[in-house]
Structure 1
Amino acid sequence: MSTKFGLGRGLSALIPGAPAPVTPPTPSDHAVLTVPTERIHANPLQPRQTFDEMELAQLAASIRSHGILQPLIVTVRADGAYELVAGERRLRASRLAGLATVPIIVRAGAPDDREKLELALIENIQRADLNPIERALAYQQLQREFGLTQEEVAARVGVSRSGVAHALRLLALPADMQDALRSGALSEGHAKLLAGMEDAAEQRAWFDRILEQRLPVAAVAAGHRAPRSPANASASSHGDPNLRAKELELQRALGVRVAITPQGSGGKVVLTYADPEELHGIIRAMTRGR
């Protein structure tokens, strides 16, 4: 007698409008089958870019102890093999755990490539372990592939429109900042603040300071929003592009606002810091290598 599995909460979100399972199932509805893992092929349209090896190992250990609690969703290919619609992480972990078979639900009908892509995107977005860049790229792909507005993307994946908008802005960050966000070196809160900075030099300076000094989000927000001093304002209006370039160079090196004021054959350089930690950062930068 075959074992029946609960569908789990995620299935109704993955396949809107799916009928509730009944007992006993018939071959035409959501009956759960058990098939060899080698008969299941990955979705070639899988948008997920990386699978964390440590997390897969942890999931594999859980599967060894408790089995697979939610069946994989598949379609049947022309050659009789199965192709994943949802559940690649579970399939990878099952193979890692040494399982010979896994439970599946065969989705009625043969979804076209666009539908399979949309289902895979939505399943991935609804996972809690996506990094912010992966999530933003999935939103972007939903927009481009299906011509969806931000409001429509938000409705499909169950988040607010502002959440989608904030995520998409992260994709405007330079590549190294996106990489830091992917790896966890940069938090999503920091990244949102950086994405809102219009001045590229200021953005770069804050990014460097965040990594070097491990500044909390609140400190970055307070420092970035602090009004400019009169010295800074007057210096920025000197109109000399060479001096402005030097100001930006110093800002990148020191991580704070810099104002150069020419006075005759000399002048002065004003460094503006928001708190003692910024002052310590200036001192460390200026004495580095001594």
Structure 2
Amino acid sequence: MMSKKRLGKGLGALISDKKPEGNSSEKGIQKVKVNKIEPNPYQPRKEFNQKRLEELSQSIKKHGLLQPVTLRSKEDNSYQLIAGERRWRAAKLSGLDEITAIIQDCSQQQMMEIALIENLQREDLDPIEEAKAYNKLIDKFDLTQSKVAESVGKSRSSIANSLRLLNLPSEIQDYVSRETLTVGHARALLSLSTNAEQKEVAKEVIENNLSVRETEKLVKNLTTDKKREKKKKSKKRDPNIVAIEDRLRRSLGTEVSVKRGKDKGEIIIEYYSDEELTRLLEFLEG
């Protein structure tokens, strides 16, 4: 497992808490009114545990906010969170009027990367939130999977496997988010060819409390059975066509196959020498 210290560029590489040189009063560490702060629009985390927020709120009441949040200033003199939304929410809950903040210049892409890395380091995201965050980075900034992997310090295959979860029906994605199914279960279900099959097997897995290994075995059996059935159907031929082929073989004295399509078909007559071709032509010309 990759060490958290190596995750991505590191927040330190994307966020600096040093005050800028010069007389800019808009940058560096300062006190900011809580009600002038709005959340990060690229925050990948959708759910905040209320109990943990209340616990953090009580800690802030007692000890104050020990770690500043990071903001970027907007043209209307308000601020937008770059990192620290949980701390900001808890500070609001505790009744603080203002909090300490680091003010930074930051692009939209950096905001998204920072929010994602911060949550990954804290292990705050469920697998679907994580996959959606990667997908949003790719779509909004036209990034490759390799570039996203570089940004967050993971392998490209890890990003690709995460994104594959978004191919599952939303119902199964919800199971993964709520930890009703694990990522291992979800990856096994991806081997099934239709959403209907995936939903059906997912319900069976949940009802029978199947392990990941048992789920993989179930999926393998289903796909094997399906292949056998398909092969069996392809071998089964229309008896009328078979009878016609037999009649033509007897009449022509050579191998004949008839293939019938939706709107047209073809008759294939085999010959094995020039003399036989001449014989067949004479026969067909009457």
TM-score (norm 1): 0.65
- Are 2:53 and 1:56 aligned? yes
RMSD: 3.7
Map of 1:221 onto structure 2: 216
In the alignment, the residues of structure 2 paired with residue 20 and residue 105 of structure 1 have an alpha-carbon distance, to the nearest angstrom, of 6
In the alignment, the residues of structure 2 paired with residue 234 and residue 78 of structure 1 have an alpha-carbon distance, to the nearest angstrom, of 65
In the alignment, the residues of structure 2 paired with residue 213 and residue 131 of structure 1 have an alpha-carbon distance, to the nearest angstrom, of 24
In the alignment, the residues of structure 2 paired with residue 205 and residue 129 of structure 1 have an alpha-carbon distance, to the nearest angstrom, of 30
Map of 2:172 onto structure 1: 177
> How do 1:86-101 and structure 2 match up within 5 A?
86-101=83-98
- Are 2:33 and 1:33 aligned? no
Q: Max radius of gyration: which structure?
A: 2
Map of 2:77 onto structure 1: 80
- CA deviation vs aligned residue, 1:53-91 (integer Å, no higher than 9, x gap): 333233323433443332100122223332211111211
> How do 1:231-242 and structure 2 match up within 5 A?
233=228, 237-238=232-233
Q: CA separation of 1:147/1:116 partners in 2, compared to 1, >3 Å: closer, same or farther?
A: same
Map of 1:161 onto structure 2: 156
In the alignment, the residues of structure 1 paired with residue 57 and residue 225 of structure 2 have an alpha-carbon distance, to the nearest angstrom, of 60
Higher relative contact order (CA 8 A, sep 6+): 2
User: Are the counterparts in 2 of residues 42 and 88 from structure 1 also a CA contact under 8 Å?
Assistant: yes
User: Are the counterparts in 2 of residues 43 and 85 from structure 1 also a CA contact under 8 Å?
Assistant: yes
SS at match of 2:233: coil
Map of 1:16 onto structure 2: 13
Map of 2:205 onto structure 1: 210
In the alignment, the residues of structure 2 paired with residue 69 and residue 147 of structure 1 have an alpha-carbon distance, to the nearest angstrom, of 37
In the alignment, the residues of structure 2 paired with residue 72 and residue 12 of structure 1 have an alpha-carbon distance, to the nearest angstrom, of 19
In the alignment, the residues of structure 1 paired with residue 75 and residue 229 of structure 2 have an alpha-carbon distance, to the nearest angstrom, of 72
Identity across matched positions, percent = 36
Matched AA of 2:126: N
Q: CA separation of 1:19/1:28 partners in 2, compared to 1, >3 Å: closer, same or farther?
A: farther
Q: CA separation of 1:114/1:231 partners in 2, compared to 1, >3 Å: closer, same or farther?
A: closer
In the alignment, the residues of structure 1 paired with residue 89 and residue 187 of structure 2 have an alpha-carbon distance, to the nearest angstrom, of 33
In the alignment, the residues of structure 2 paired with residue 117 and residue 162 of structure 1 have an alpha-carbon distance, to the nearest angstrom, of 21
Structure 2: which 5+ runs fail to align?
Answer: 237-286
Matched AA of 1:165: A
User: Are the counterparts in 1 of residues 53 and 89 from structure 2 also a CA contact under 8 Å?
Assistant: yes
- How far the C-alpha of 1:126 sits from its partner, in A, is 4.0
- Are 2:141 and 1:146 aligned? yes
Map of 1:196 onto structure 2: 191
Matched AA of 1:225: K
Matched AA of 2:199: R
TM-score (norm 2): 0.66
In the alignment, the residues of structure 2 paired with residue 20 and residue 113 of structure 1 have an alpha-carbon distance, to the nearest angstrom, of 19
- Are 2:41 and 1:69 aligned? no
In the alignment, the residues of structure 2 paired with residue 221 and residue 133 of structure 1 have an alpha-carbon distance, to the nearest angstrom, of 20
- CA deviation vs aligned residue, 1:85-104 (integer Å, no higher than 9, x gap): 11112111111122233221
SS at match of 1:16: helix
- How far the C-alpha of 1:120 sits from its partner, in A, is 3.3
Map of 1:4 onto structure 2: none
- How far the C-alpha of 1:143 sits from its partner, in A, is 0.8
Q: CA separation of 1:21/1:209 partners in 2, compared to 1, >3 Å: closer, same or farther?
A: same
User: Are the counterparts in 1 of residues 7 and 152 from structure 2 also a CA contact under 8 Å?
Assistant: no
User: Are the counterparts in 2 of residues 12 and 18 from structure 1 also a CA contact under 8 Å?
Assistant: no
Q: CA separation of 1:36/1:148 partners in 2, compared to 1, >3 Å: closer, same or farther?
A: same
Number of residue pairs aligned between Structure 1 and Structure 2? 229
